[in-house]
Amino acid sequence: MRLRREDLYHRLEPLLGQVEKPSRYLDHEWGAIEEQDGPFHVALMYPDVYEVGLPNMGLSILYSILNKVDGMSCERGYLPWVDMADLMRAHDVPLLALESSSPIASFDVVGFTLAHEMACTNIVEALDLSRIPVRAADRAEDDAIVIAGGPSVWNCEPVAPMFDAVLLGDGEEALVQMCACVSDGRTAGKPRAQILLDLSRIQGVYVPSLYDVVVDDSSTRWGYAVPRPGTGAPEVVLKRCLQDFAGTDPLPHRIVPYMDVVQDRLAVEILRGCCRGCRFCQAGMTYRPVRERPAEQVIEAAKEGLRITGHDEVSLTSLSTTDHSQCAAILHQLNADVRDQGVRVSIPSQRLDSFGVDMAAEVGGSKKGGLTFAPEAGSQRLRDVINKNVSEKDIDVAAENAFRNGWRRMKLYFMIGLPTETDDDIVAINKVADHLLEIGRTVVGKGPKSGVSVSISVAVFVPKSHTPFQWCGQLRLEEVRRRQQLLLHTCPDHAIKISYHDAEVSLVEAVLSKMGRAGFDLIYTAWRHGCRFDAWTDEFSFERWQEAAAELGLDLEDIASTDIPLDRRLPWEHTSPGVSKGFLKREWHRAAQGVTTDDCTMTSCVGCGVCPKLGVDLAIVGDRHAGHQ
């Protein structure tokens, strides 16, 4: 029996006056689904606070789709902040869904978004607060089926013991199939084990309990997963890939919150996938192939979304928005259509080689704030190693276009610790920033009234699975800090602002990216030591992670910094985004030689293996190459 709001409200309501931002826990936002009558009930959980989770595009898409299926209803759940979580435990209130205040544990399926590795302790926290057994193996027959999906599933082994099933790839069709499988199984009285077997027959669904971990001379210390005999589980689970992206709803996000949220704007996904082939980028490998929405669909969705939500900004989102073959036309028409409404059109970041005069003029309309570029590396040599395919001329032309078209503030993203990096590459970061600052001053004029500024944000490279750099170790902490200081001390102009990521957070992220299923013991122990909200600077505690590692006899730096021989079987090889291991090895060798690889959407097939393996094709609506002359 699912408890309704009235059964728990008398315990929950008094807590709202004792916490910061009580609006995090209010329901009935404009645009939310009010009718939640099932009879099959799904809760989609974002393992972070409301204001971070609400704008998530993936959760919005799946929430909308499931609520359109006859007999199914879908609600949302977010992790309470630490003050509310502690009060809920003290007052015996379990984690509740937002729409009905029903306990998360009472739902048939509970689905988590794996947005990034640093959310892993939040998943433990959410399950514990929900009173759902944290380990899938400990769940009873009638407990919720707990599943996961999202951009960080590609080495899900460290969190796999928490999940009954994990969805790899696009969820629009697959999640509906998964929920129908559970619903049919429950209706037919099937035992839990049989339902999990049935789920494993759906392409893209990985059921961890059907696989054993083997450690031998061919593996890393974390082993590799093989299907248990007699289960029929696939040796390699291949991701789901949505072919008809243009056939999906371009406007799934219609909820207007009561409070300020991150990315508080209307978002329209204009393309999915990226074939640029940056060798550090996991998303660029796992979201292939590229599939674009037609320009007219994007424009109409943006205008309709602005009309019904009241936002004053629309963001055209994707992994690389300016690579859309009709991006300039979309920006031009959309700006023309909303110019008199005080609406700003934005894109998350711009590739330096595709940010031409037309796009510089169109982005932001009359409201020009800051512009973000990501050269990633300071020297041309290192940009070739990582296959960024951006030249010095590209950088100069893009910056000049931006400054001439009214932009005054520029932010540049870089990484340190990339394979083959030297001190000269670190110093080159400052040279790029200084050169762009000089371009701005030349175009706009010098002096404080010009408003020209350049800032640098520098992340620490984290090797990720299913990329050509998956075999790399991360820099050790001492060396990361030395290079960060080198960057600060070689900056030639005090007008350039430099910020860099916490090296300790990046170290833990690298550990979780590299470990196998045994990594769950580290995650669970860290949570017992008080780790939660590790992606939040004020909440992250490296000391607690070190204590957890020491309790288990682990060395975090040793795990993160160890290189992996190319002939070893990897902990994540039983899951595949379609990119072949042979292609990744070839890219690793080309990186060592400083040889670049083309973007297949602008030249010809590069042999990554995705299209033939998944049975899908590129979906480009215009002349992509012509848009990047």
Quick one: pLDDT at residue 359? 78
Quick one: pLDDT at residue 596? 97
- Summarize the confidence of residues 106-126 as an average pLDDT: 97
Distance CA 329, CA 483 (A): 42
- Summarize the confidence of residues 500-518 as an average pLDDT: 97
Least-confidence region, from 50-54, 155-159, 448-452? 448-452
pLDDT digits (tens, 9 = 90+) for 148-191: 999 999 999 999 999 999 999 999 999 999 999 999 999 999 99
- Summarize the confidence of residues 398-419 as an average pLDDT: 93
Distance CA 216, CA 529 (A): 32
What are the sequence ranges of the domains in the chain? 5-238, 265-367+606-629
Length of the chain counted residue by residue: 629
Distance CA 299, CA 314 (A): 10
Q: What percent of the chain has pLDDT over 70?
A: 97
Residue type, 54: L
Has residue 237 got a pLDDT over 90?
yes
Judged by DSSP in three states, 388 sits in coil
Tell the residue number behind the tokens 């170290």, with chain if given. 507
Band of pLDDT at residue 624, cut at 50, 70 and 90: low
Distance CA 52, CA 46 (A): 9
Quick one: pLDDT at residue 629? 44
User: In the CATH scheme, what is the homologous superfamily, with its name and number, of domain 5-238?
Assistant: Cobalamin-binding domain (3.40.50.280)
Q: Is 476 left (phi over 0), alpha (psi -120 to 50) or beta?
A: beta
Mean per-residue pLDDT over the chain, rounded: 93
Distance CA 415, CA 406 (A): 28
Q: Is 313 left (phi over 0), alpha (psi -120 to 50) or beta?
A: beta
Q: 623: Cβ–Cβ under 8 A, 6 or more apart, which residues?
A: 325
- Summarize the confidence of residues 473-478 as an average pLDDT: 97
pLDDT digits (tens, 9 = 90+) for 244-272: 999 999 998 789 999 999 989 999 999 99
Q: DSSP assignment, residue 289?
A: S
SS3 sequence of 163-214? CCEEECECCCCHHHHHHHHHHHHHHCCCCHHHHHHHHHCCCCEECHHHEEEE
Name the CATH topology of 265-367+606-629: Transcription Regulator spoIIAA (3.30.750)
Distance CA 330, CA 321 (A): 11
Band of pLDDT at residue 623, cut at 50, 70 and 90: confident
Q: Are 16 and 22 in contact (CB under 8 A)?
A: yes
Quick one: pLDDT at residue 388? 95
Has residue 488 got a pLDDT over 90?
yes
pLDDT digits (tens, 9 = 90+) for 333-345: 999 999 888 898 9
- Summarize the confidence of residues 11-26 as an average pLDDT: 92
CB atoms within 10 A of CB 342: 11
pLDDT digits (tens, 9 = 90+) for 346-393: 888 777 777 776 777 787 666 676 788 999 999 999 999 999 999 999
Distance CA 330, CA 296 (A): 8
Quick one: pLDDT at residue 12? 84
DSSP string of 408-449, one letter each residue: -EEEEEEEES-TT--HHHHHHHHHHHHHHHHHHHHHH-SSGG
DSSP string of 616-627, one letter each residue: ---B--S-TTGG
Has residue 549 got a pLDDT over 70?
yes
Quick one: pLDDT at residue 7? 64
Longest dimension (CA), the chain: 76
Element (H, E) at 107: none
Distance CA 424, CA 44 (A): 47
Band of pLDDT at residue 503, cut at 50, 70 and 90: very high
CB atoms within 10 A of CB 30: 12
Q: Are 321 and 271 in contact (CB under 8 A)?
A: yes
- Summarize the confidence of residues 102-106 as an average pLDDT: 94
Band of pLDDT at residue 625, cut at 50, 70 and 90: low
Q: Are 572 and 154 in contact (CB under 8 A)?
A: yes
What tokens does 390 get?
């951006």
Band of pLDDT at residue 9, cut at 50, 70 and 90: low
442-447 CB contacts, 8 Å cutoff, 24+ apart? 443/400, 443/403, 443/404, 444/403, 444/408
Q: Are 39 and 70 in contact (CB under 8 A)?
A: no
Using CA atoms, how far residue 147 sits from 127, 150, 163, in Å, is: 12, 11, 5
Has residue 327 got a pLDDT over 50?
yes
SS3 sequence of 21-69? CHHHHCCCCECCCCCCCCCEEEEEEECCCHHHHCCCHHHHHHHHHHCCC
CB atoms within 10 A of CB 298: 29
- CA-nearest of 154, 388, 378 to 280 is 388
Has residue 36 got a pLDDT over 80?
no
- Summarize the confidence of residues 618-628 as an average pLDDT: 73
- Global confidence as pTM: 0.95
- Exposed / middle / buried, residue 627 (Cβ in 10 Å: 0-12, 13-18, 19+): buried
CA triple 521-525-531, angle to 5 deg: 130
- Summarize the confidence of residues 296-320 as an average pLDDT: 94
Has residue 35 got a pLDDT over 80?
no
Quick one: pLDDT at residue 203? 97
pLDDT digits (tens, 9 = 90+) for 550-594: 999 999 999 999 999 999 999 999 999 999 999 999 999 999 999
- Summarize the confidence of residues 120-129 as an average pLDDT: 98
Has residue 216 got a pLDDT over 50?
yes
Quick one: pLDDT at residue 2? 47
Judged by DSSP in three states, 292 sits in strand
- CA-nearest of 292, 366, 368, 367 to 330 is 292
Has residue 120 got a pLDDT over 90?
yes
- Most confident option among 23-32, 45-54, 445-454: 45-54
Quick one: pLDDT at residue 360? 77
CA triple 392-394-396, angle to 5 deg: 70
Quick one: pLDDT at residue 125? 98
Using CA atoms, how far residue 172 sits from 32, 64, 267, 297, in Å, is: 19, 10, 18, 18
